Homo-oligomer: A and B are copies of this chain.
Amino acid sequence: MLIVMNHSATQEQIRSVEKAVEAMGLQASPIPGSERTAIGVLGNQGYVDDSTIRELPGVVECIHVSKPYKLVSRDFHPEPTIVEVGPVKIGNGLPPVVMAGPCSIESEAQMLASARVVKAAGAQILRGGAFKPRTGPHSFQGLGVEGLKYLRRAGDEAGLPVVTEVMRIEQLDDVCRYADILQIGARNMQNFDLLKEVGKRRHPVLLKRGMSATLEEFLAAAEYIVAEGNGQVILCERGIRTFEKATRNTLDLSIVPLIRKMSHLPIIVDPSHATGIRALVPVMSKAALVAGAHGLMVEVHPEPEKALCDGAQSLTGEGFATLMGELSGLLKYLGY
């Protein structure tokens, strides 16, 4: 950490800050500049809490050099993480993986139809939501455990591993029983208790970026999971909230190569939630793979116009098959 002092800070103020640093068991190393003094803080193992320093007299700001994550950082762990879900492998150097299926599980028939459609088109993993977070209390809230069973049956029939969201710790046992990947939704990215619990399980985790989470917070959330012993974490960019309302969210695609540079965890992209517009999903899927995404998560519904949730951003089975055909050409171009 670097503590920046006022231009007019007194020697006494500088000395007080040094003392406060030393009281934290750290060393203070003043760096006198032509305009002001800065004080380097040495000896810390990881992130330093600046809250007791920041408001001392003469302090302008505290600048962090260490990050609130380390285990997920490529700087400390250069080797890429490969996440394994049954026969499917996700990570650096491997062909991108497509997870597809409906936003929410509505019936057994719908899941079986969805599974067949996405399997036939070439998807490797089946998705479907049994527990749904919805903005208003009067919307469809998901089928719960019954839905999990439909998902599992559909996955088994099609020979596809399945991923589904877990929203609460109490759901964790059920979700672990029926699903292959535990998805943490954007709204729960900083539900730290939930992160710790999934960190204690052995299932791979799909962690979605919170809609107003910075890259640093995103990686720190993953750190919670890895710190508990579960290193099988897949990150997922799904759009952030900005002033622009023409798309549902703003897909932050530049984060993909940046995460590849900063972390060893695989990063996939969800163009369906990011854009919220069906017509943009195929083109942004391709852009995501070119940007370096290790996979995609795409909403597909056999009959989007009858979907109970997010129909407008779901591809039809036909649309998805067309996309998968196009992706196959793209993968060839990309060398897979």
**What residues of chain B lie closer than 8 Å to A215, measured between beta carbons?**
244, 246
Q: Does A168 contact B (CB under 8 A)?
A: yes
Closest to A247 in B: B254
CB pair B304 A52 closer than 8 Å = yes
**What residues of chain B lie closer than 8 Å to A135, measured between beta carbons?**
68, 190, 217, 220
Closest to A313 in B: B51
Closest to A171 in B: B193
Give the docked Cα–Cα distance between A47 and B35 (Å): 11
Number of interface residues of A (CB under 8 A): 114
CB pair A191 B196 closer than 8 Å = no
**What residues of chain B lie closer than 8 Å to A20, measured between beta carbons?**
305
A61-79 interface with B by 8 A CB criterion: 63, 65-66, 68-69, 73, 75-76, 78
CB pair B290 A277 closer than 8 Å = no
- With A137-B224, A215-B244, A254-B251 known as contacts, the answer to whether A40 contacts B51 (CB < 8 A) is no
Q: Does A329 contact B (CB under 8 A)?
A: yes
**What residues of chain B lie closer than 8 Å to A283, measured between beta carbons?**
257, 290-292
Give the docked Cα–Cα distance between A251 and B239 (Å): 12
CB pair B69 A136 closer than 8 Å = yes
Give the contact stretch, choosing among A26-34, A85-93, A114-122.
A26-34
Q: A32-B42, A35-B46 are in contact. List 7 more A-B contacts (CB 8 A).
A: A38-B65, A135-B190, A137-B223, A214-B243, A214-B246, A257-B284, A287-B291
Question: Per a CB cutoff under 8 Å, which of B2, B43, B280 touches A258?
Answer: B280
**What residues of chain B lie closer than 8 Å to A51, measured between beta carbons?**
307, 309-313
Give the docked Cα–Cα distance between A309 and B42 (Å): 21
- With A133-B192, A254-B280 known as contacts, the answer to whether A34 contacts B45 (CB < 8 A) is yes
Report the minimum CB–CB distance from A158 to chain B (whole Å).
25
Q: Does A211 contact B (CB under 8 A)?
A: yes
- Oligomer: number of copies: 4
CB pair B38 A40 closer than 8 Å = yes
Closest to A29 in B: B31
Residue among A47, A243, A292 having the largest count of chain B Cβ atoms under 10 Å: A243
Q: Does A167 contact B (CB under 8 A)?
A: yes
**What residues of chain B lie closer than 8 Å to A35, measured between beta carbons?**
44-46, 66
Closest to A291 in B: B287
**What residues of chain B lie closer than 8 Å to A277, measured between beta carbons?**
55, 258
Give the docked Cα–Cα distance between A135 and B43 (Å): 22
Give the contact stretch, choosing among A4-12, A148-156, A175-183, A200-208.
A4-12
Give the docked Cα–Cα distance between A187 and B212 (Å): 11
Q: Could you list some 13 contacts between A and B, CB below 8 A?
A: A7-B76, A29-B31, A46-B138, A55-B279, A68-B138, A138-B227, A168-B193, A214-B245, A240-B242, A244-B255, A247-B254, A286-B290, A333-B333
Question: Per a CB cutoff under 8 Å, which of B8, B50, B134, B195 touches A78?
Answer: B8
Give the docked Cα–Cα distance between A286 and B290 (Å): 7
- With A42-B31, A279-B257, A291-B287 known as contacts, the answer to whether A190 contacts B136 (CB < 8 A) is no
